[in-house]
Amino acid sequence: QKEVEQDPGPLSVPEGAIVSLNCTYSNSAFQYFMWYRQYSRKGPELLMYTYSSGNKEDGRFTAQVDKSSKYISLFIRDSQPSDSATYLCAMSSPNTGNQFYFGTGTSLTVIP
């Protein structure tokens, strides 16, 4: 079993839709959770960084962590064509030093 599981998609939504992206994980020691956005032929760009459980909101983006279910989500409200990219979840734990565990990424297309 992989440390982090992420549905690769692809996911296609109309402009203005609410998008939900999800990852599950197996290691209960993970405490730091990240979402990256990666445009084609670019490096991953950090979108959201959260520590432990709870929600964090930044503009149209909301990151949610449910440690009891080992489940994290990224919600995108009022999705725009410019949100079309691959979204990667990543996580780490103080117990594993600065080692990050990545999902495989979900490809999202927002149709105008």
Partner 1 sequence: EAGVVQSPRYKIIEKKQPVAFWCNPISGHNTLYWYRQNLGQGPELLIRYENEEAVDDSQLPKDRFSAERLKGVDSTLKIQPAELGDSAVYLCASSLVNTEAFFGQGTRLTVV
d(CA 21, CA 41): 21
Q: State phi, psi for 83 to the nearest 5 degrees.
A: -80, -5
Site for partner 1 contains 80 (CB under 8 A): no
Site for partner 1 contains 71 (CB under 8 A): no
Site for partner 1 contains 88 (CB under 8 A): yes
Closer by beta carbon to partner 1, 14 or else 97: 97
Site for partner 1 contains 92 (CB under 8 A): yes
Given a contact cutoff of 8 angstroms between Cβ atoms, the answer to whether 35 and 63 are in contact is: yes
How far lies 49's CA from each of 9, 67, 89, in Å?
Answer: 22, 15, 10
Choosing from 19, 21, 30, 44, the residue that interacts with partner 1 (CB under 8 A) is 44
- Kind and range of the H or E element at 27? none
Q: Which residues bind partner 1 (CB under 8 A)?
A: 4, 6, 8, 32, 34, 36, 41-46, 49, 88, 90, 92, 94, 97-100, 102-105
